[in-house]
Structure 1
Amino acid sequence: MLKRKNMALILVAALFTIAACSSDGGTGSSGDTGKKDGGTDKKKKLEVSVSILDRGQVASDEGTYESNRTTKYINEKSGINVKWVPVVRTESTKKLNTLIAAGEAPDLMWEFGRDYMSTLKDQGAIQPIDDYIEKYSTSYKSYLKAHPELKPYTQFDGKTYIATSARGIDAIANHGMWIRQDWLDKLGLKAPTTMDELLTVMRAFKEKDPDGNGKNDTLGAAFNFNYTGIIQAMYAAHSGLWYLENDKMVKGNFTDRYMDVLALLKTAFDEGLVDKEYITDKNYQKERQLFVTGKAGVYMASWNISPEYRELKQNVPDSKLVPLEPVSTKYGKFGLFQEPPANKLIVFNKNMKDPEAAVKLLDWMVEKNWFDVRFGQEGVHYKLVNGVPQAIDADKNKKETIYAPEYAVLDQWSPKPEDFPIMAAQDAISQDYAKVQGESLKVAMKNKFRRDIPFNPTFPELSETATSFTPLAEEIETKVITGGSQYNAQWGIEQLRKEWKRLGGDNVDKLAQQWYEKNVKGK
């Protein structure tokens, strides 16, 4: 730990030294005031603005997303004046687009989707960064050499446009399913391993009073916004991905498998295995409430559901929640959604004033400094146990550090399943969940998510067509799910293909195939 702190002090000292000197011998380099007076030249403090996802997690007495204990720590320790620009998570790309159009976008912008960054590149909103990395970077440059697997995710047309770090295993794992083991035991059922068995179990959870209150008030499943993605993954027909069918590119929602996705969603709705109001429950708060109050037997959400687990145990102390593996279908067994290896994708605004400051911030982060940005202050928020940060007070951290990890725009965190009991607070529920959480991570990574190509094709015709198609697809699929026998899955898939074709989809498919041949096949 002393070694880590000494390294941080050395880096801070180095950055202050850099800030006091001209980087190019007084030729007016980026950030230089241009004022020279013998040996007393002073360079303006490095400044950079960065976007941050606003998830509504900063308590009012903690400050705001612009200014809080984490932002103050970064500014103090890095020697860089960082201005954070919040963008609401659910409208992040929309907000960034608005800021770009107004000429008010931050110097560094980040998101998780490479497709979006490709769009910004095509619009000329961002710039290549190879020269900046070569000129200003030390630590990040070394990091990239140690992680060549990231290179395909950072480049367009042979130039580097994106800075990123590798995801830890806990960030590669994403979607997850959970099941009430106590309900299975009470009803004499085994954990389902096939889709037919899953439906059978969900029907039993709805019809056989598993909570024993004598009322018909339980459901087969509840979920968050990952619901349809989980069903799609089990059929290897994710609507947001492209698949290779006999070496031909096919968008996920035009595969024959997608018809089975629609049929399953319709069956769950028609039979009341899920709450029918979910169609209008846009933030899924009712779904969450159904689960944490013990009214649903399966929870389709994420592999890590710490808050929901805690609330369920508080409301139903005898509940026993365990991770559930994805089930097989007639097409085989596929894992639930897993992220690609690249984490946050950071791009440089074409109009940024000081690329040196941006690179120096990335250098500072990718060293050990991301650790205290992410976890807070040692002795206050955590103590180190075998090199693993152990929470001192779960309630304190829920308030003071829950929002902090995303400020570490680059990091090297990758916990192991056995680390969770060490990291967790020592109260009974936290320790109980930590053991289950470790098992959930293993389950989430046990079955490989089907991703036929490393990332989606990107070209203007696809973006334009997809923008027009998406609301039509949502309308068609809602009709299939809620519209009774008149709108079956066969009708739905035919309508989806028809609308795609009408919007010029045949040409998009041809261009996607050409993109695959050029960018993926044989590489």
Structure 2
Amino acid sequence: MYKLWGKYALSTALVSALLLSGCSSNSGSGSEAKTAEPSEATVNETGFPLTKEPVTLNMFTRIAPLNGPFKDMPVFQDYEKMSNVHVNFTEAPTDGFQEKKNLLFASNELPDAFYRSGITPLEATQYGAVGQLIPLEDLIDKYAPNLKSLMEQYPEIRSAITTPEGHIYAIPGIVTLAAARTDKKWINEAWLKKLGLKEPETTDELYDVLVAFRDKDPNGNGKKDEIPMTARAGLAVVNLMSGSFGLDQQLGYNINLENDKVNIWMGSEKNKEMLMYLNKLYKEKLLDPELFSQKEAQYLAKQGSGNAGFFFDQTNNNFLPIADQYVGIAPPAGPHGDRLQAQTAPVPRDFGAFAISSVNKYPEITMRWIDYFYSDEGSTLLRFGREGEHYELKDGIPYYKEDFLKTDNQPKITPYAGGGAPHLISDKVASYINPPQVQEAQKKLDPYMPKVRYAAPMFDEKTAQEVNILRNDIDKYYEEQSTKFIAGALSFDKWDEFQSTLKKMQIDKLQEMYQAAYDKMEK
């Protein structure tokens, strides 16, 4: 679910937009961060409403395909009555969203705030430096007690969103629930029982189980139509199996941290071992032959078919009708005994979920407005809608009502559907994605979770541009070559050449940049 390859790569259009934004006559001069004009309405520092005088804020947001209009969502209707703040949302669909966001910055036609707009680290640094986004650290300190408390409880949040100059230009979605930060390893328990097999504890045992799934007709239809193992398209399977080969994914990249030393492992022998293992599975038709071509809808359909032996997903929503057929397992130990749950998103999971622009006349009110959603109460309203109508409380935990779930209207009432919304996901507000079966699957992963999952660091503007250029080339090359290694289109006799090319692409320089950023984070 959390694809790392080239995650922060920027398009040519974005680079052009960055340059244009720096030339805008209204964007400020120099590199000093600029703040908004004084508020015209008085903020109430505690309680509701947030202000005595009604206030209107204009926000730019991404709308997912299944969402309804934000103005019709109960969270924003009810919160307006509580807060005395009306929000006009400019909704841009997911397709073409980045281009629309670029244009706003390039033309300096800014909203008051960017909501669920996926501001990247480079965008935050660039647009903050030219004054289009305002620094938030003082506003957080005074007007965001919920967010401030979370940042104190989880110091990795602050390090993930603070620039080297000490500014915070964008705030993330925060996920304290471990089960919402991992893809579980789901195996077909019904097939295991039918074939008299136990849950695999090692990669060798996993191989044997997959062979049995392929050859012993566990679905009982007399055909060899079982899918022993599948995953999301592309290199998601690399993310999900890397921990068994001692390969972690720290700092938002393919990085191991060993004694405070950054090691980008793409050219390592352990990575070669992993790719050889996956090649063996692929060659023997144990790994889905459609791995590199299937669409998301096809992958989800395979989960729900009951005809997949082993796959990965955060929750069980996609196979609920046959959920009893599956069980979560621990990461299998690899050839050197490694058993790490490497595929784990950081607590600050969605960088740049919210930012305030320099045209905003009410930054204090805006910060108080967004801070509510970093509480369990505010998150419940955002995710579940209205008590009695959309959800009911059981032991203090909100659950969607069964009759509401049957309507398929869940994405219409919440901006959470579609991901990336600025709010808190805790154990108190995640019943829909964290039912008992998922909780049990997470318990299998817990002993192998990293103590701290470091998010991608904030680089200074110049370094961020360099990192982006290096990663564009390195990530593309790694993905192309790894796909060929797994699919058997490239012989492992070419591994030395692969390593040599990574060095020519300056992977060592990239590693030095991550090392410097990590050292600053740890000071």
With the length of structure 2 as denominator, give the TM-score of the two structures. Answer: 0.76
**CA distance in 1: counterparts of 2:246 and 2:208, whole angstroms:** 22
Q: 1:439 to 1:43 in 2, by over 3 A?
A: closer
**CA distance in 1: counterparts of 2:349 and 2:260, whole angstroms:** 28
The residue type paired with residue 66 of structure 2 is: Q
Summarize the alignment of residues 340-379 of structure 1 with structure 2, pairs less than 5 Å apart.
Answer: 340-345=346-351, 346-354=353-361, 355-367=363-375, 368-379=377-388
Q: Which has the larger radius of gyration?
A: 1
State the partner residue of 1:8: none
Q: CA RMSD in A?
A: 3.6
Q: 1:440 to 1:471 in 2, by over 3 A?
A: same
Summarize the alignment of residues 328-343 of structure 1 with structure 2, pairs less than 5 Å apart.
Answer: 328-331=333-336, 332-343=338-349
- SS of 1:47's equivalent in the other structure is strand
Q: 1:32 to 1:320 in 2, by over 3 A?
A: closer
- SS of 2:427's equivalent in the other structure is coil
Which residue of the other structure, out of 220, 231, 235, is the alignment partner of 1:223? 231
Q: 1:119 to 1:434 in 2, by over 3 A?
A: closer
Q: Is 1:259 the equivalent of 2:264?
A: no
Q: 1:204 to 1:162 in 2, by over 3 A?
A: same
Deviations 1:15-74 (A, max 9, x none): xxxxxxxxxxxxx833459xxxxxxxx98732334454533232xxxx335643443333
Deviations 1:228-252 (A, max 9, x none): 3102233233572322356542223
Q: 1:350 to 1:266 in 2, by over 3 A?
A: same
Summarize the alignment of residues 20-59 of structure 1 with structure 2, pairs less than 5 Å apart.
Answer: 29-31=38-40, 45-58=54-67
Q: 1:472 to 1:455 in 2, by over 3 A?
A: closer
Displacement of 1:465 in angstroms is 0.8
**CA distance in 2: counterparts of 1:388 and 1:301, whole angstroms:** 23
Which residue of the other structure, out of 318, 321, 325, is the alignment partner of 2:330? 325
**CA distance in 2: counterparts of 1:112 and 1:260, whole angstroms:** 38
Once structures 1 and 2 are overlaid, which stretch shifts more, 289-298 or 155-164?
155-164
Which runs of 5 or more residues in structure 1 are unaligned?
A: 1-27, 34-41, 314-318, 425-429
State the partner residue of 1:24: none
State the partner residue of 2:242: 232
Displacement of 1:130 in angstroms is 2.5
Displacement of 1:473 in angstroms is 2.2
Given that 2:176 and 2:426 are in contact with CA atoms closer than 8 Å, whether structure 1 keeps it comes out as yes
State the partner residue of 1:79: 84
Displacement of 1:76 in angstroms is 3.5
Displacement of 1:188 in angstroms is 1.3
**CA distance in 2: counterparts of 1:197 and 1:358, whole angstroms:** 54
State the partner residue of 1:498: 500
**CA distance in 1: counterparts of 2:346 and 2:425, whole angstroms:** 16
Deviations 1:394-417 (A, max 9, x none): 55376333462628955454227x
Given that 1:376 and 1:382 are in contact with CA atoms closer than 8 Å, whether structure 2 keeps it comes out as yes
Q: 1:90 to 1:450 in 2, by over 3 A?
A: farther
Given that 1:335 and 1:448 are in contact with CA atoms closer than 8 Å, whether structure 2 keeps it comes out as yes
**CA distance in 1: counterparts of 2:170 and 2:225, whole angstroms:** 50
State the partner residue of 2:484: 479
Which residue of the other structure, out of 479, 486, 491, is the alignment partner of 1:488? 491
Q: 1:171 to 1:448 in 2, by over 3 A?
A: closer
Q: Relative contact order: is structure 1 or structure 2 higher (C-alpha 8 Å, sep ≥ 6)?
A: 2
Given that 1:183 and 1:210 are in contact with CA atoms closer than 8 Å, whether structure 2 keeps it comes out as yes
Given that 1:129 and 1:161 are in contact with CA atoms closer than 8 Å, whether structure 2 keeps it comes out as yes
Which residue of the other structure, out of 295, 313, 317, is the alignment partner of 2:307? 295
State the partner residue of 1:13: none
Summarize the alignment of residues 101-500 of structure 1 with structure 2, pairs less than 5 Å apart.
Answer: 101-104=106-109, 106-109=111-114, 116-123=120-127, 124=129, 126-134=133-141, 136-137=143-144, 140-141=147-148, 144=151, 148=155, 150-156=157-163, 157-164=165-172, 166-170=174-178, 172-225=180-233, 226-237=236-247, 240-244=253-257, 248-281=261-294, 283-302=295-314, 304-310=315-321, 312=322, 320-331=325-336, 332-345=338-351, 346-354=353-361, 355-367=363-375, 368-393=377-402, 395-396=404-405, 399-402=408-411, 404=414, 406=416, 409-415=421-427, 434-449=435-450, 455-456=456-457, 458=459, 459=463, 460-484=465-489, 487-489=490-492, 491=494, 493-500=495-502
Q: 1:482 to 1:139 in 2, by over 3 A?
A: closer
Q: 1:234 to 1:66 in 2, by over 3 A?
A: farther
Deviations 1:309-355 (A, max 9, x none): 33x46xxxxx6211121101023111142222224444534433232
- SS of 1:131's equivalent in the other structure is helix
**CA distance in 1: counterparts of 2:312 and 2:148, whole angstroms:** 40
Q: 1:69 to 1:445 in 2, by over 3 A?
A: same
Deviations 1:175-206 (A, max 9, x none): 11111111011111111010111111111101
**CA distance in 1: counterparts of 2:296 and 2:186, whole angstroms:** 17
- SS of 1:352's equivalent in the other structure is coil
Deviations 1:88-136 (A, max 9, x none): 558765654454334345443366989x324431453533113333565
Q: 1:93 to 1:229 in 2, by over 3 A?
A: farther
State the partner residue of 1:512: 514
Deviations 1:206-227 (A, max 9, x none): 1111101011111211223543
Q: 1:333 to 1:145 in 2, by over 3 A?
A: closer
Count of residue pairs the alignment pairs up: 459
Given that 2:115 and 2:422 are in contact with CA atoms closer than 8 Å, whether structure 1 keeps it comes out as no
Displacement of 1:261 in angstroms is 2.4
More helix by share: 1
With the length of structure 1 as denominator, give the TM-score of the two structures. Answer: 0.76
Fraction of identical pairs, as percent = 22
Q: 1:148 to 1:291 in 2, by over 3 A?
A: closer
Deviations 1:264-288 (A, max 9, x none): 222222111133122122x332233
Q: 1:253 to 1:104 in 2, by over 3 A?
A: farther
